[in-house]
Amino acid sequence: MLEVDLGAIVANWRLLRAHHLAGPVAAVIKANAYGLGSRPVAEALYQAGCRHFFVAYLDEALAVRDQVPGAMLAVLSGLIAGTEINYIEHDLTPVLGSLQEIARWSGRGSAILHVDTGMSRLGLDDRELAMLAEDHTPLNGLAIRYLMTHLVSAEIPGAAQNKRQRDKFAAARIRLPPAPGSLANSSGIFLGAAFGSDLARPGAALYGINPTPGKPNPMRCVVRLMVRVLAVRDVAAGTSVGYNATWTAARPSRIATAALGYADGLLRSLSDRGSACFDGNPIPLVGRVSMDLTTFDVTDHPAVQPGCWLEVLGPHLSPDDVAVAAGTNGYEVLTSLGRRFHRVYQST
């Protein structure tokens, strides 16, 4: 069972808004709101007053348009040829990152212009920026809502690249027609006033992932994943558990098998490294994570019986905690969550 606290997501958005004094704070709800449900999340944030939303792809925008009437709903991945009519009919805002995209959208409405200042993925590169700076004509038929860029290392406050990107973005704004700017992502909001802009674009922090690694997490926990114990069995010392016998009991042990596996998004890299919690106490994950089942050593927890629930994500085991054990980040932990969980939405 996956419990999503919409009230906590709204509280996180309000906290981010309080930290970003320069301008409004958008909500990035791509990847199904980081695995938690884009429609209920969008509706909750819209009801709280959010009027700027970002998704990655056109289909994601179409799926939530009715939840955020009148709000700016922008698509980060660029304008694919042939999709222009969808943007017009549904009042969507394309994020344009090339001269070709600018030409295709000219005269069709408002857009966000993306400048690459160091990510080297999407956005106008130095050559295209220089061409536009010399001749603004291609932009004449464009209503630029924002000029944006994307920070590479905002979660590392001391990274020299942060200042380089900020300065490069400021220089690009001077060379292009006047337009509001959008700079800070989740961690960028916590880099201070120098990284403020007309619109911040947090994503992960809304969903409880720590935007200030190495410091206490200022965000509220928004998710609780509980999985049911299907069976508990006693195994003798020397007995192996799971595929490929990667774990062997060093003592007489009790092994709980839970209804959870990599088909549900529990990363296989957690094999013999992860954990769950029972009544707030950690329980080691033993053996391989398999497709549908995962095993835990509950020898020291006699209260665990078939039918009990184990916490896999939640107040005792955050996405960031799981990420450390899995060798990844909290983003992957959340966006990997599968479709088989019964989802419960609540507001606190």
Provide, for the chain, the percentages of residues in helix, strand and coil under a 3-state DSSP scheme, each rounded to the nearest 5: 35, 25, 40
**Which pLDDT score, from 0 to 100, does residue 295 have?**
98
- Tell me if the domain spanning 2-207 has CATH number 1.10.3470.10: no
Q: Are 296 and 256 in contact (CB under 8 A)?
A: yes
Q: Which residues are catalytic?
A: 30, 243
Q: Are 348 and 5 in contact (CB under 8 A)?
A: yes
**Which pLDDT score, from 0 to 100, does residue 85 have?**
97
**Which pLDDT score, from 0 to 100, does residue 239 have?**
97
**Which pLDDT score, from 0 to 100, does residue 348 have?**
78
- pLDDT (tens, 9 = 90+) of the chain, 348 residues, equals 999 999 999 999 999 999 998 899 999 999 999 999 999 999 999 999 999 999 999 999 999 999 999 999 999 999 999 999 999 999 999 999 999 999 999 999 999 999 999 999 999 999 999 999 999 999 998 999 999 999 999 999 999 999 999 999 999 999 999 999 999 999 999 999 999 999 999 999 999 999 999 999 999 999 999 999 999 999 999 999 999 999 999 999 999 999 999 999 999 999 999 999 999 999 999 999 999 999 999 999 999 999 999 999 999 999 999 999 999 999 999 999 999 999 999 987
**Which pLDDT score, from 0 to 100, does residue 208 have?**
98
**Which pLDDT score, from 0 to 100, does residue 21 have?**
84
Intervals of CATH 2.40.37.10 along the chain: 223-328
Interatomic CA distance for residues 70 and 72, integer angstroms = 7
How does DSSP assign 152-196, residue by residue? SSTTSTT-HHHHHHHHHHHHHHHHS----EE---TGGGGG-GGG-
Task: Calculate the CA 58 to chain-centre distance.
Answer: 17
- What fold, for 223-328? Lyase, Ornithine Decarboxylase; Chain A, domain 1 (2.40.37)
Q: What pLDDT digit, counting tens, does each position of 226-237 carry?
A: 999 999 999 999
**Which pLDDT score, from 0 to 100, does residue 283 have?**
98
